[in-house]
Structure 1
Amino acid sequence: MKAVVCKKYGPPSVLQLIELPKPVPKDNEVIIKNYASAVTGSDVLIRSANFPLLLGLMFRVVIGFTKPRKPILGLVFAGEIESVGKNVKRFKKGDQVYGFNGSSFGAYAGYLCISEKESKESCFVIKPYNMSYEEAAAVAYGGVLAPYYLEKGKIQKRQKVLIYGASGAFGTTSVQLAKNLGAEVTGVCSTRNVELVKSIGADKVIDYRKEDLSGSEERYDFILDAVPHGKIDKKSLKTQCKKVLSPNGKYASINEGSPKLKAEYLNQLNTLFEQGKFKAVIDRKYPIEQIVEAHKYVDTGRKKGNVVITVEHP
């Protein structure tokens, strides 16, 4: 099978496309023929190991000191179950599924094995009939992470919610989910992404290049920092956000806490997608043979929504 491996941390050029044997599922696992994946901000961080000293040390203890212990990277996948282990009950051969595989990685490959049992780090669900594999790969990352952080806000109808970093994979998901909760949503992004954020339902958009958030007279019931690690001074951003919180407002950041992943989140997103109330935001698509170019593009920090990798064609 095709597989992209990372044998050391570094720039996109450390990624290599090679042929590997097809994996064999355990009794409690399914084997998925993988059609699509994505390059997320987390994928880029894992490949580069570009963390501050203390955080970087913790990362290497968990993932690997000089290289990832699990060399096939890729967090999200979308494909078809080819076979199931003898103890698998919830899924069957032919099910079209998508999900998030956490620190087990493995999604930059033609096949991957995953336990049917939901865990803290991985989950997958059957995709809607009207969702393509590429769309499924695009929504999986934000689909499992954004709901966890939005729950911290305990959002009520007509509350004012601000999403800082509204144009990325996490941000575009958060804007749409917050709108579906009945909130009045303000998105913060750069000039080039204002129209995109409006198009996915934001009631207001702040161009951070033209407007200083901390000087705003508006007050928000919940503020979510959706900016990936390393893209901005987080301490300064948190200070700005706290200035525009309402007295009982809540603040959350994608970089704080360890989210618990739930298949329930993806099933809720599926319902919205089927009803036409949620859409996948795809910036670019690359074949797996161009994985290096895809990572280079995401490294620029200019992607809108998601960058999808086509692994195989159904």
Structure 2
Amino acid sequence: MKAAVVKRYGAPDVVRLVELPVPEPRAGQVRVRVAVTAVTAGDARIRGARFPKGFGPLARLMFGVRGPRRKVLGNVFSGTVDAVGAGVTDLSPGDEVCGMTGPGMGAHAEYVVVAAAQAVPKPAGVSHEDAAGVLFGGTTALFFLRDEATLKPGASVLVNGASGAVGTNAVQLAGHFGARVTGVASTPNLDLVTELGAEHTVDYTSTGLASLTDRFDVVLDTVGNLSPASGRRLLNDGGVLLLAAAGLWELITARGNVRAGAAPERPEDFAFLLELVAEGALTSVTDRIVPIEEIVAAYRRVDSGRKVGNVLVRP
């Protein structure tokens, strides 16, 4: 099978397309023929060893010292079950599924093997592209807004980085939960953020967040350029600051009205997001779709910091 392999950390051109044996599912696993995967900010951070501030040594111990232990990156997939391992009864070959692979990664390939519990049925009305596009950013936005902030109808929400994979989902999910949304993005993306449901927008190229006079019930930073101190200054009394791209120090010291951490990959959250997409209540925003032969270009686009929504790959 074709697979994008990363043997050492570095720039996008360290990624190589190679032929690997097709993996076999073990007990409790399924093999999925990948129709669409995504190159996420998480994939790019691992590939380039650009881990959040303070996480470098720990991350290298976890992922690999000189290069990723898991040579095939990618943890988002949508495709068709190709084979099932012993004990799998809920899924059969031919079923269309999508999901996330967790630390096993491996989705940047024609086939990926995952735990059957992590592969959820894809609704017939949802394309593989939309399924693969909604999961990474959607699960992060959902975790912080619904679970960490317990977002209520009428709440005011500021989304910093509103045009990225997490931000585009956050704007829509906040609106779905009845909040009033202000989205922060660059000039070319302000119209998109408005179309996604933001009542107000802030152009960060001309207006710094420190100059804002409005205060919010919830501030979600998807970029990593807000500190607990600068973020708290944007909050109403009783407001909550959500740091989705926190460094180690912010993670360790997050307490009170500051929340940070990694979003869990829960199948029930996948199903919730997919149902919203199927109902037309959530739009998966796609920057571009490329064949796996162009995955280096996909990584370059993610590294540029200018992608809008998701960069998708068809193996």
**Same fold by TM-score greater than 0.5:** yes
* Range 212-221 or range 32-41, more displaced: 212-221
* Structure-1 residue corresponding to 2:121: 126
Identity of aligned residues (%): 39
- Does structure 1 conserve the Cα–Cα contact (< 8 Å) formed by 2:216 and 2:234? yes
**Cα displacement (A) at 1:214:** 2.8
TM-score by length of 1: 0.92
Matched, 1:181 2:177: yes
Alpha-carbon displacement from aligned partner over 1:112-148 (angstroms, at most 9, x marks no partner): 111123xxxxx33111211111121111111222111
Matched, 1:144 2:134: no
Q: Distance in 2 between matches of 1:78 and 1:27?
A: 21
* Structure-2 residue corresponding to 1:241: 231
- Does structure 2 conserve the Cα–Cα contact (< 8 Å) formed by 1:144 and 1:263? no
**Cα displacement (A) at 1:52:** 6.0
Q: Distance in 2 between matches of 1:19 and 1:221?
A: 51
Matched, 1:159 2:155: yes
Q: Distance in 2 between matches of 1:134 and 1:260?
A: 22
Q: Distance in 1 between matches of 2:276 and 2:163?
A: 19
Alpha-carbon displacement from aligned partner over 1:141-188 (angstroms, at most 9, x marks no partner): 112221111121111111101111110001101111111001001111
- Paired amino acid for 2:39: V
- Paired amino acid for 2:44: V
Q: Distance in 2 between matches of 1:218 and 1:164?
A: 14
Flag the 1:234–1:160 CA change in 2: closer, same or farther, 3 A: closer
Flag the 1:224–1:73 CA change in 2: closer, same or farther, 3 A: same
**Cα displacement (A) at 1:53:** 6.9
**Cα displacement (A) at 1:213:** 2.6
**Cα displacement (A) at 1:212:** 2.9
How many pairs are equivalent? 300
Q: Secondary structure at the match of 1:278?
A: coil
Please, which of 304, 309, 312 is the counterpart of residue 305 of structure 1? 309
**Cα displacement (A) at 1:241:** 2.5
Is there any run of 5+ residues in structure 2 with no aligned partner, and where?
246-259
Q: Secondary structure at the match of 1:74?
A: coil
Q: Secondary structure at the match of 1:145?
A: helix
**Cα displacement (A) at 1:86:** 2.1
> RMSD in angstroms over aligned alpha carbons?
1.4
- Paired amino acid for 2:22: K
**Cα displacement (A) at 1:292:** 0.7
Flag the 1:217–1:52 CA change in 2: closer, same or farther, 3 A: closer
Q: Distance in 2 between matches of 1:197 and 1:295?
A: 24
Q: Distance in 2 between matches of 1:158 and 1:52?
A: 33
Q: Secondary structure at the match of 1:26?
A: coil
Is there any run of 5+ residues in structure 1 with no aligned partner, and where?
118-122
